[in-house]
Amino acid sequence: MPAQPTSISNRNFEAWVKCDGKALPVYGVEVNGTKATCWIASQAGKEVSVHFKMHDRSKRATYKGTTYIDGSFVRARIFGTIDPHTDAECHVNAMKATPTTSQRLYFSDLKTTDDDHACKDNAVLSMLGTIGVTVRRVRVTGTKEHSNKEIPEHLKGGQQFLVHEKAKKLGGHHVTLGDPEAVAPKPIFNTETIGDPIVEFLFKYRPQDVLEAQDIIPVSRALVAGPSKKEPKVQKRPRDEATPSVRRSKRSKTVANGPSDEEALRAAQARVQQLETQVALRAAQARIRELEAQLEADD
């Protein structure tokens, strides 16, 4: 069986997301014109990095790849084939809120509350659970000093960003920033955009169990199959020429020497556990669909 792909490609560009340094498999890939989308399974507490690159480098051009996390700008990188911006591949793993600090990106659990003061901004909520990369052709026009950026509330950790319980349909994760780390100040480049975006990549992320329950990614084999235990084999006794009464006696002993009550119990428990797992999975899928329908009706 071929390995699951870990990137999406469109129009000479490719993008992927890493979690703790490992590229995440992509599912449900769709390409429509300049836009390419897919699903990935997020893992709370693990570091996130976004990668993108160009393939054909025969054309002289400069590009800017802009990364958006949960709908908010995080960072832009310049690459291409014209000096001094000749990198073919770039990545973003942190946000620079000040000229001298950098904060890494992490998948985090989405905290919910029944407080009516929780976030209700649909513009924010609709973009939670997304990582975007937009590639544009640009012309570099100069440099400027790096200024301070305001950190969006949804990127802050701790209890600073809460959503209402009804927003659970969003999926359960968002991205937050780690502790500030000291970095050397560097100027940033002024650019002039040439034309419309060349390509837009969108990674929609959710916890793995949510994606499995929604049939977006396959359920892991361990969950479907359940515990595997071999039932003990009953060895056949050799036939002999004994009298009918003796043969009946031996048949009785054969039954008595079959699988013990304890072994039969273990086999039955394994089968019950397997069936319970499959039933629970189907129930979870049905419950998710029911809740989503109720929430959409409330909206």
Domain ranges of the chain: 8-213, 221-298
Counting as low any pLDDT under 70, the low residues of the chain are 1, 116-117, 119-122, 158-160, 167-171, 221-299
Six token digits for residue 92 = 């973003």
Q: Are 100 and 185 within 8 A, CB to CB?
A: yes
Give 4's DSSP letter: P
* Residue 143, pLDDT score: 92
* Residue 299, pLDDT score: 55
Q: Are 162 and 118 within 8 A, CB to CB?
A: yes
Q: Are 120 and 103 within 8 A, CB to CB?
A: no
What Rg value do the Cα atoms of the chain yield, rounded? Answer: 28
Percentage of residues in the chain having pLDDT higher than 90: 55
Six token digits for residue 96 = 């620079």
Q: Distance between CA atoms of 152 and 123, rounded to whole angstroms?
A: 13
- What's the half-sphere exposure (Cβ side, CA atoms, 13 Å) at 253? 9
* Residue 260, pLDDT score: 45
Tens-digit pLDDT profile for residues 14-23: 999 999 999 9
Q: Are 201 and 226 within 8 A, CB to CB?
A: no
Residues whose CB is less than 8 angstroms from the CB of residue 29 and which lie 6 or more positions away in sequence, other chains included:
5, 8, 36, 37, 38
Q: Are 17 and 10 within 8 A, CB to CB?
A: no
For the entire predicted model, the pTM comes to: 0.73
Q: How many other CB atoms are there within 10 angstroms of residue 285's CB atom? A: 15
* Residue 288, pLDDT score: 67
Residues whose CB is less than 8 angstroms from the CB of residue 256 and which lie 6 or more positions away in sequence, other chains included:
none
* Residue 57, pLDDT score: 95
Q: Distance between CA atoms of 276 and 134, rounded to whole angstroms?
A: 45
Residues whose CB is less than 8 angstroms from the CB of residue 127 and which lie 6 or more positions away in sequence, other chains included:
70, 71, 72
Give 114's DSSP letter: S
Max Cα distance, the chain (Å): 106
